Structure formats: C-alpha cells, structure tokens
Amino acid sequence: MATSKKYVTVSLPIGVADDIDKLIEELGYWPSRGAFAREACLAKIREEQKRLKETQAEDVSVEEDR
C-alpha cells in the first residue's frame, strides 16, 4: 500500500467531532482533532494487534493439542 501520499482524510459524524472538540477544550492535551484521532487510532491499532497475537497463539496451542 505504498503511495506518494503522506496523509488521508477520514470522515467522522458531527457528534463524534463535537465530543472530541469538547475534550480538547476541557483537557487541553491535544492541539487538534487530528492529533486526538491519531493517538486514538494508534491505541486501537496496538490493542487489536495484541488481540490478534493472542488469538494466533491460542490457535497454535489448540493445533498442538490435537
């Protein structure tokens, strides 16, 4: 999936964007919606990669028990 593009655009429902804006304003931790979304996406990617590795390890264990 290598392309010359460095970024892509993602659409969010207005309600989600509004909730992000409120958090940014209240907490002041993220400089922008993009920064918030990037951090959230990276956290979700790590979580799902961990789950995938655990599932694959379980599958290997089941195969070895047969």
pLDDT at 20: 98
Q: Given CA atoms 46, 49, 53, 58 in this order, what sign does their dihedral have?
A: positive
Q: What is the pTM of this model?
A: 0.75
Cβ atoms within 10 A of the Cβ of 49, count?
10
Asked whether residue 48 carries a pLDDT value surpassing 70, the answer given is yes
- Domain residue spans of the chain: 34-66
CA separation for the pair 33, 14 (Å, rounded): 12
Asked whether residue 5 carries a pLDDT value surpassing 70, the answer given is yes
CA separation for the pair 3, 57 (Å, rounded): 32
Tens digit of pLDDT for each residue in 8-32?
A: 999 999 999 999 999 999 999 999 9
